[in-house]
Structure 1
């Protein structure tokens, strides 16, 4: 008997003939859309992430997975979108988000109250 053990790849995860990866984008790029470069087993491809993409959305790249043995065709590659939310914002970013909230009809009153309760180091006063 021959047993093969394949070490996990740092980028690609295989499930049958399909390949799964994760890609990180900013929350602004998720809202506005962006063209990204996606690594595949055959090299990089361009993919346009549409505006309004939600965290955890999975996109399918048809035919970019593992080739079938002794027959035509390939599996697919699935790209899961991880949306990075900033842990700290500068004053300009805070103002831009407040303007966005107001344009969306959301209240910004609570933001001031929350900021009063925390000092610069994120500790409760």
Structure 2
């Protein structure tokens, strides 16, 4: 029943294809990586991979995913904060810009 956890469009194509539970297992291994899951699905369809080949390919995809570290998490968080500050900047008066500079300095100190 885990197959029902596939995205709806993928599930519909899956059900009308020759794929089996091993293919589903491979696709579900990538459930947190939508682009890779779709890529694998397309490759299974185009190349006719067996279930075992699909699982091995999914494992390779997972192996190639960069590990999340405190630094990557900090970089992602910092990027979001910088984007928000940039959006707000043009709408600020001088006092508010000074506060933004303070937030930016705090962010730099955090890094």
TM-score (normalised: structure 2): 0.24
Greater helix content: 2
TM-score (normalised: structure 1): 0.22
Greater strand content: 1
